[in-house]
Each structure stands twice: as structure tokens, then as C-alpha cells.
Amino acid sequence: MDYNDIKYQHVARFGEEDCLGIENGKCYLQPKVDGTNSVLWWDGELKCGSRTREVNPNNDNQKFADYILSEPLRYEKLLDTFQNCVVYGEWTKKKHTVKYIPEAMGKFYVFDIRRRDGTYITPEEYEPVLKALEIDYIPVIAVLENPTYEQLVEVMNQNTFLVEDGTGEGIVIKRFDYINQWNRIVWAKIVAEEYKQEKHKVKKDYPPDMIEIQITEILTDAFIEKEYLKLAEDGWNAKKIPILLNTVFHEFINDEIWNILKKFRFPTINFKTLNYLVISRIKEVKKELF
């Protein structure tokens, strides 16, 4: 089976072309949880995956497969109930950019169940099943008809799901009858830090409208911190600094290049300048490392 058929769909920033008009209808709002995107499906046996590959206890991702396959029965029952479906969730690791309550750690929280034809099971259908099987899930915290941006932000600012102090990372907006202009199902997200964060200061010798500066403004503190935490999980030393610089740049470009091309209308980018600005942002965010 092609893993591209299993991988989770794109979640666009609210207001981007990929999800334009998603708010024009019945919207389900869920907390955005800062974990590892993980997946379950049935292929003659229970299968586990990360965002990009199939995993198992011998070739795992943050011990997700080991957790699921140590007690598989309830997940097998879930996939028997929703046959020919893929189950998506967030696997909560030990370190997060958001501080969660201790009992939230090391758990799998289901947030979507998708049919193989690409359409989704609604929360009204799957939540009672998850409750009966005692499977953790990310709840719907609001259902709004034709919400305004201000209403969405208000819900986001009240999201305390699993959070030890303050509010969560953001919200995900889903509309189960939504198909975008390219005939694709895409969800939207609002990230709290991006909403609150002011534009970052850069060197004065760069004009503020320079494309590389505009692209760098997409790079958030949380993104940098998340990549740092991955590298620091087994301990940190100065030898990892070049790895951090390269990893953040690689993951940022890998995750955002398509959005960048669409948002800025296929711009001409000086990647050497962009790399310099990204490194400057990393040094700004992680001053204690330099």
C-alpha cells in the first residue's frame, strides 16, 4: 500500500487560499495539541504509522507503536467498527512547547477518522464509540455556524484542553462538507503564537518588504523550539548547534514551501539570504545557546 494514501491531509493557516471559505458553514473546532501526528489502520493486522512512514516496535517513532501494540484490542475493535478507515491522532511525547498536565503524557488522542475514499466520519458518529472503548480523543470544543474570525479567536483563547497553565497551542477548524477550489478537503488552523506574535525585527539594512524577510516572518518561536526539543531529547551539547540550524531551515522549507509559493505568487527567492535570516531568527529565539 502506498503510504501517501495513509498520510494525514494538509492543515492550512486560516485565511490561506487552500482553505478559503471554510468558515461559511457548520464548523467544528478542536484544540490543536502539540504532539506527534500518528496513524492507525487495518491491513490484515493492526498497523501503526508516523506522519511519514509505517512504524513498529523495532522501528518506532517515540515508542508510539510499542504503546499501541502492547494493548491493541480496543483499537482493533475501533477499526472493526469503522471498517476501511484510517484513524488519526496525536501521540503526546515527553517534551512540548506547551506545558501539559502530567497525566496527558504518553497517550494517543484520536482527532479524526477518515474513510479510504477521503471523506471523514463526523465527531457525532465516532465520539460515542471512542468513549465506549475508553480511547482518548481530542474533543470538539465548539460548533459554530458561519463564524467570524473574531469568534474563532475567542474560542481559541478559551482553550485549556490538557494544558497545565494558560491556554493551548491553537485550534483546528473542520467543516465536513467543505471542499476547496482545487477539489480537496483541507482543514484550517489558527495558532495562538502566530496570532499574538509581532513581526520580528531584522537587520536595518534589509528593506522590510524584501521577500526573504516576509518569508522569515512565517517562522515562529514555537517551530524553532519544537525542533530544538527533538534534538535535545537525549541531552544537549554545543556540537548540536549546526544540526539545529540546518534542521530548522530544512524542516521550515519542507513544510512551508508550497504555502510560500502560493502566498507570494511564485517569487524569486535568494535561499542564501533566506538561510541567513532563518539562522538569525534561531539565534534570537535560542539566545542561551549562542
Query: Per-residue pLDDT tens for 127-137?
Result: 999 999 999 99
- 100 neighbors 109 (Cβ within 8 angstroms): no
Owning domain of residue 211: 197-289
Q: Mean pLDDT across the stretch 117-143?
A: 97
Do 141 and 265 reside in the same domain of the chain? Answer: no
Residues 190 and 59 in one domain: yes
**How many structural domains comprise the chain?**
2
Q: What is the mean pLDDT of the chain?
A: 90
pTM of the predicted model over 0.85:
no
User: In terms of domains, do 90 and 41 share one?
Assistant: yes
Across the range 41-59, mean pLDDT stands at 94
Question: pLDDT by residue (tens digit) across 243-283?
Answer: 999 999 999 999 999 999 998 999 999 998 999 899 989 98
Residues 67 and 187 in one domain: yes
Residues 45-51: contacts with CB under 8 Å, at least 24 apart: 46/72, 46/75, 46/76, 46/79, 49/3, 49/6, 51/7, 51/8
Tell whether 127 and 16 lie within a shared domain: yes
pLDDT digits (tens, 9 = 90+) for 60-94: 999 999 999 999 999 999 999 999 999 999 999 86
Q: Does residue 30 sit in the same domain as residue 144? A: yes
Q: Is the pLDDT of residue 31 over 90?
A: yes
145 and 278 both lie in a single domain = no
Residue 260: per-residue pLDDT: 93
Per-residue pLDDT, 133? 97
- The three-state (H, E, C) secondary structure of the chain, written as one string: CCHHHCCCCCEEECCCHHHCCCCCCEEEEEECCCCEEEEEEECCCEEEECCCCEEECCECCCCHHHHHHCCCHHHHHHHHHCCCEEEEEEECCCCCCCCECHHHCCCEEEEEEEECCCCECCHHHHHHHHHHCCCCECCCCEEEECCCHHHHHHHHCCCCCCECCCCCCEEEEECCCCCCCCCCCCEEEEEHHHHHCCCCCCCCCCCCCCHHHHHHCCCCHHHHHHHHHHHHCCCCCHHHHHHHHHHHHHHHHHHHHHHHHHHCCCCCCCHHHHHHHHHHHHHHHCHHHC
Task: Identify the domain boundary among 153, 171, 195.
Answer: 195
pLDDT number for residue 66: 95
The answer on 65 and 206 residing in a single domain is no
142 and 9 in a common domain:
yes
Q: Among 148, 170, 195, which residue terminates a domain?
A: 195
CATH of the domain at 138: 3.30.470.30
Q: How confident is the model at residue 202 (pLDDT cuts 50, 70, 90)?
A: very low
Same domain, 209 and 178: no
Residues 181 and 236 in one domain: no
Percent over 70 (pLDDT), the chain: 94
229 shares a domain with 97: no
**pLDDT value at residue 206:** 65
| Domain end point (choices 195, 214, 248) | 195
